[in-house]
Structure 1
Amino acid sequence: MTPVNSSFGSRFGMEYMPTSFLVRMGKREMLVCRDFRKRFYAVNPIMECDTGVQAGHLEILLMRRWLLILSKAH
Structure 2
Amino acid sequence: MTTLNSGFGSRFGLEYAPMSFLVRFGKREVLVCRDFRKRFYAVNPILECDTGVQAGHLEILVFRRWLLILSKAH
Q: Name the TM-score, length of structure 1 as normaliser.
A: 0.92
Task: Tell me the equivalent position of 2:14.
Answer: 14
Q: Is residue 2:35 matched to residue 1:41?
A: no
Deviations 1:20-72 (A, max 9, x none): 00001100000000001100000000000000000000000000000000000
Query: Is the deviation greater in 14-23 or in 56-65?
Result: 14-23
Structure 1 CA distance for aligned equivalents of residues 32 and 4 of structure 2: 15
Q: Which runs of 5+ in 1 are unaligned?
A: none
Work out the percentage of aligned pairs sharing the same amino acid. 85
Structure 1 CA distance for aligned equivalents of residues 5 and 27 of structure 2: 12
Give structure 1 regions of 4+ aligned residues with deviation exceeding 3 angstroms: none
Paired residue total: 72
Structure 2 CA distance for aligned equivalents of residues 21 and 34 of structure 1: 10
SS at match of 2:64: coil
Distance 1:32 1:45, change over 3 A: same
CA-CA distance at 1:11 after TM superposition: 0.6
Task: Tell me the equivalent position of 1:72.
Answer: 72
Q: CA-atom RMSD, angstroms?
A: 1.3
